[in-house]
Amino acid sequence: MRRILYTLSLITLSLVSTAQTATPRQLFPGLFEAVQLSGIFPDNKTFVDATPKRDPDEIMKDYLGEKDKPGFNLKQFVSDNFTLPAGPKIIFKTDINTGVRKHIDTLWQVLSRQHDTALKYSSLLPLPYDYIVPGGRFREMYYWDSYFTMLGLQESHRFVIIQNMVSNFAYLIDKYGFIPNGTRTYYLTRSQPPFFSMMLDILAKEQGSKVLVKYHPELLKEYEFWMAGAARLKPGEAYRNSVRMPGGEILNRYWDESDKPREESYTKDVEAAKLTKETPQEFYRNIRAAAESGWDFSTRWMDTNGKLETIKTTYIIPVDLNCLLYHLELSIASGYRQQRKQAEYQLYLSRALARKKAILKYSWSEKHGWFMDYDWKEQHNTGIETLAGVYPLEFKIADTVQATAIAVKLQAKFMKPGGLVTTSNRSGQQWDSPNAWAPLQYMAIDGLNKYGRTDLARTIANNWIQNNLQVFNETGKLMEKYDVVDTNVKAGGGEYPLQDGFGWTNGVLLNLLDKYYPPQL
């Protein structure tokens, strides 16, 4: 009976969401641009998250009939015809005296959202199960955020919501062929760093390795998304997310199917495009590809001054993305092995080993003693050292000599009083110095531990924990990002104000607290 109800639920969701894949710009041509460029809302995400009060065709008919009349008030028109996104229903007041663990435990409820709550014509994509959102302006489920949030949910023994979120991601893969950046119609042209197979590792700790068989079809579908068109490429050619390297290897890049301004950041994209030497289409594609990476934005993708108009994300083979796809290939191979399909197991194992070899070939820099991104157009590494270089530790791709070099550089260049800085460039972009982010702290710490660098891992963890606690004790909040150079200053940069909440900060902090400062039994 449960299976029948689940199937009926998915059928209903499929029928509803089919009608909702049109984006706000597609539903409201002309009105969308007028609102986003008007400055009515300081944040462009406000309007694309608003819900129309009636049929979009009727709204557009009235808009076209009224917009040129004397005294037309655009802000009032929007207010009359759209319901603006509201804050969480639970009003949460922090009690610092109860401690950060209690704070995080309460936040899981604040950040929780019920499934199938998308209204007709809303940009929100309906989901079959409840989920956790990051917080602040991020009102929907996000892909790579969710993995690091799950690390904390795991510590909180909230295995039901972990299962629910994994089921939601499997549903998205089955419906759309990939996991979108976030569960909004305007995110359906791109994904985010592929952590689905890593989520299954979390689930496997509770349910066993059988989860790799249960979700094997979805693992394969996600792999097909990232590898689409790869087989027919010649050296030096690229198609969507795949690139054929000079030596014939296939590696991957970030990519977005659209070459238009991002709807959620429309004004900023349009203004930045006026300064670029690229065609508008190339520029928008590169901006969107950087959004797929999650690092929006960083000198990793542009010149060291952080000028957005120089962005060239699609030229770059990111080391972290390819490490994640290496893990995906190993997970697929493991699923086949459990099914006793030896030929398929060997195929995906060989693909994983070939990718590992290619990562070592193209990303490792002896000169820098660091894993770096590779510019496939210019055929050399980018020369920019970023914290993405720790991913080969997390996935045990580095050898012991490389791991030693990484540990030395982490301590000498990246480690600051409040944690690990993302890059050494002070560009004003939010994924550059002096900012730091919870996911990268976790990947570095966990990676170092896998190579026996436990003392350094502990020092980094302690710096990060103390930074988080200091801000919490002063503000009662856990932030999206932190200044790790001057821990008395709030982190800055980016396209929007500093967000609090915050899913992945909560998850990583609780994981590290339980590892290094376990609660008294």
Length, in residues, of the chain? 521
Range of the domain at 32: 1-227
Cite the beta strand spans of 382-431 per DSSP E.
Answer: 415-416, 419-420
Measured between alpha carbons, how far is 275 from 121 in angstroms, rounded to an integer? 35
Q: Report the C-alpha gap between 149 and 127 in whole angstroms.
A: 18
Residue 125, domain member (yes or no)? yes
What sign results for the dihedral spanned by CA atoms 304, 310, 316, 321? positive
Position 8 scores a pLDDT of 40
- Residue 498's pLDDT is what? 54
Q: Nearest-CA neighbor of 175 among 225, 139, 214?
A: 225
Confidence of residue 98 (pLDDT cuts 50, 70, 90): confident
Mean pLDDT score, 18-31: 86
Q: How many domains does the chain have?
A: 2
What pLDDT, on the 0 to 100 scale, is given for residue 86? Answer: 82
Q: What is the pTM of this model?
A: 0.94
Instruction: Provide CB contacts within 8 A for 346, sequence distance 6+.
Output: 333
Q: What is the pLDDT of residues 140-155, one digit of tens each?
A: 999 999 999 999 999 9
If 0-12 CB within 10 Å is exposed, 13-18 middle and 19+ buried, where does residue 170 land? buried
Establish if 376 belongs to a structural domain.
no
- For residue 489, what pLDDT is reported? 83
Chosen domain end from 175, 193, 227? 227
The total of other beta-carbon atoms located within 10 Å of residue 274's CB is 9
Predicted confidence (pLDDT) per residue in 270-305, tens digit: 999 999 999 999 999 999 999 999 999 999 999 999
What's the CATH number where 46 sits? 1.50.10.10
* Confidence check: pLDDT of 3 > 60: no
Residues annotated as catalytic are 296, 480
- Asked whether residue 394 is assigned to any structural domain, the reply reads yes
In a domain, 256, yes or no: no
Domain boundary among 177, 203, 227: 227
The more confidently predicted of residues 501 and 63 is 63
> Where do we find the tokens 């693992």?
219
**According to the 3-state scheme, what is the secondary structure of 176-238?**
HCCCCCECEHHHCCCCCCCCHHHHHHHHHHHHCCCHHHHCHHHHHHHHHHHHCCHHHCCCCCE
Last residue of a domain, one of 173, 195, 227: 227
**Nearest Cα to 397, choosing from 323, 466, 467, 342?**
323
447-463 residue pLDDT tens: 999 999 999 999 999 99
Distance CA 404, CA 57 (A): 62
pLDDT band of residue 446 (cuts 50, 70, 90) is very high
Q: Does residue 155 belong to any structural domain of this protein?
A: yes
pLDDT at 92 over 70: no
- 445 found inside a domain: yes
pLDDT per residue as tens digits for the range 416-426:
999 999 999 99
Residue 500 has pLDDT above 80, yes or no: no
Tens of pLDDT, residues 299-340: 999 999 999 999 999 999 999 999 999 999 999 999 999 999
| Residue 362 within any structural domain of the chain | no
How would residue 501 be classed by pLDDT, with cut points 50, 70 and 90? confident
Give the CA distances from residue 336 to residues 38, 269, 397, in Å, rounded to whole numbers and listed in that order. Answer: 54, 44, 22
467 is a domain residue: yes
